[in-house]
Structure 1
Amino acid sequence: MLLAIDAGNTNVVFALLEGRTIKGRWRIATDPRRTGDEYAVWLMQLLAIRGVKAQEVTQIVISTVVPRALHNLEILARHYFEIEPLIAGQGKAEYGIDIDVEQPSSLGADRAVNAIAAHDKHAGDLIVVDFGTATTFDVIDFNGAYKGGIIAPGINLSLDALVGNTAKLPRIAIAAPKSTSVVGRNTEDQMLIGVFWGYVAMMEGLIARIRAEIGRTAKVIATGGLAVLFDEATNIFDAVDADLTIDGLAIIAERAASK
């Protein structure tokens, strides 16, 4: 079985796969100070609950946008699974796609992995919208080349900044407003309208601009925790795929195994 590890700025996601089928998925808050031993105590218990022994894991692949977290994840792989992990974008786990931007090395591993999975699963030009700590828009052409994109503040990051830098605004939960009206009658409603419908308008506007610049029809794939929430408020997404990053890591692992 494959253990795929996606270390993001907010959470580290661990997924156990047989082929492309996800057998288990767990997440823990990202903390670069967390040791390999601490990861092991937590993860081994979760695997045991599923009846999985460490020896059943035969391959590990890691994608991270938090460089300081990588070392301890490598220790987890080597000391507790006795496996030399694949690192997305390096060695046998190279992306294998054309990264057509000014500084290819600056592209986040999660975005490259998403591009690989999106092209594998969908034909034609693609726009991948990933709702994470930041919300990213990635453009992949019909040949699978990564052409660039957009980085915008994530919705929770925006809300934290709004609440943290004002004296009287309360903290609110991210949710779809109960009404479609964009004229709020109280402070909380006005905040939710601004954050939620403002974000929808931002997405729709940026995607329209990307499509106009490409000059061809482009399918929009949404992923990340809030993708389902926003999918209910707009018809701009052609598909919502919560497992896009994990699927991309599985593809990288398959390719590495065949080399």
Structure 2
Amino acid sequence: MTDSSPPILRLMVDSGNTRVKWGLHDGNGWIERGSAAQADGALLGRQWREMEAPDHILICHVAGVAAKNGLVEALSHWEIEPQWISAATYQCGVRNYYADPAQLGSDRWAALVAAWDLQRQGCLVVDAGTALTVDALSDTGEFLGGIIIPGMDMMRAALAAHLVPLTAAELSGGAFRDYPDSTADAVASGGVHALAGAVERMAGLLAATLGHVPDCLLCGGAAQQLQPRLELNATVVENLVLEGLLLIAREGGQDSRATARIR
């Protein structure tokens, strides 16, 4: 006998400092995906109103109270209470060794969960977004710790505000050069070197701990720009955070239809 019941639809939402990324999953694959600037709740609302209502909504959010309120408003036309995740001590095979496990950003946690599911061995998990985070996983699924440094846009903004006689918009046109011959290119190249250097330093530390050179999984807006500058086996994984959220949802037993409602 075949199961004729409709698929369970899960909406996964990665609410970062700059952008909100989302995906609708039907149990077999992502059937819709989208994104919007964090400040553009109206666009999110339009995107979501045009798609089928999900049975579950799982969100990782790191952008503050005002942005969270905007998300709640964008989701309000569905009568489904979303689940807002936070990092756990242990979940989906990953053990969290942060001094205060709940303090770890939920986006970093979801990315670590997805990376462990993909690799099943020690690796670096790098999110090159508003900030660059470089997190270390052991060969037994332990999150050992990680670093946070400013991302490309934050570096440009800081230099424009304090040192360089160009605006952040003017600096954004710079490109990576081996030997930059303009201020914009010098800033762009310096930023890439800084990000790549941080990743490679962490790779060296983790290699000494593991006894082998770790692979590197990259996500975030600057991932494609950073990848070719790394002297590592580095793979760009699109929507790593959303994949982690999906794994967390499945482990949480969310295979039955939602019953909790806002109204």
User: Does residue 8 in structure 1 map to residue 16 in structure 2?
Assistant: yes
How has the CA–CA distance of structure 1 residues 215 and 65 changed in structure 2, closer, same or farther, with 3 Å as cutoff? same
Matched AA of 2:35 = R
**Aligned twin of 1:29:** 37
Task: Give deviations 1:106-164, integer Å, cap 9, x for gaps.
Answer: 10000110111111111211110111111001111222222111111112101110111
1:129-144 matches, within 5 Å, as 129-144=126-141
User: Does residue 70 in structure 1 map to residue 92 in structure 2?
Assistant: no
User: Does residue 187 in structure 1 map to residue 187 in structure 2?
Assistant: no
Matched AA of 2:62 = V
How has the CA–CA distance of structure 1 residues 232 and 204 changed in structure 2, closer, same or farther, with 3 Å as cutoff? same
How has the CA–CA distance of structure 1 residues 144 and 174 changed in structure 2, closer, same or farther, with 3 Å as cutoff? farther
User: Does residue 46 in structure 1 map to residue 47 in structure 2?
Assistant: yes
Matched AA of 2:165 = K
8 A contact 1:20–1:247 mirrored in 2 = no
For structure 1, the 5+ residue unaligned runs are none
| SS of alignment partner, residue 164 of structure 1 | helix
Q: CA deviation at 1:193?
A: 2.7
**Aligned twin of 2:5:** none
How has the CA–CA distance of structure 1 residues 147 and 174 changed in structure 2, closer, same or farther, with 3 Å as cutoff? farther
8 A contact 1:231–1:237 mirrored in 2 = no
Task: Give deviations 1:31-57, integer Å, cap 9, x for gaps.
Answer: 4xx8xxxx4x534532465xx333xx1
1:172-211 matches, within 5 Å, as 172-173=171-172, 176-177=175-176, 179=177, 181-182=178-179, 184-211=180-207
After alignment, is 8-17 or 131-140 more displaced? 8-17
8 A contact 1:175–1:229 mirrored in 2 = no
RMSD, aligned α-carbons: 2.7
**Quick one: distance in 2 between partners of 1:66 and 1:220?**
26
For structure 2, the 5+ residue unaligned runs are 1-8, 257-263
Percent of aligned pairs with the same amino acid:
26
How has the CA–CA distance of structure 1 residues 209 and 71 changed in structure 2, closer, same or farther, with 3 Å as cutoff? same
Matched AA of 2:68 = L
Matched AA of 1:3 = L
TM superposition score normalised by structure 1:
0.81
TM superposition score normalised by structure 2:
0.80
Matched AA of 1:107 = L
8 A contact 2:171–2:184 mirrored in 1 = yes
8 A contact 1:2–1:60 mirrored in 2 = yes
**Quick one: distance in 2 between partners of 1:147 and 1:104?**
11
| SS of alignment partner, residue 154 of structure 2 | helix
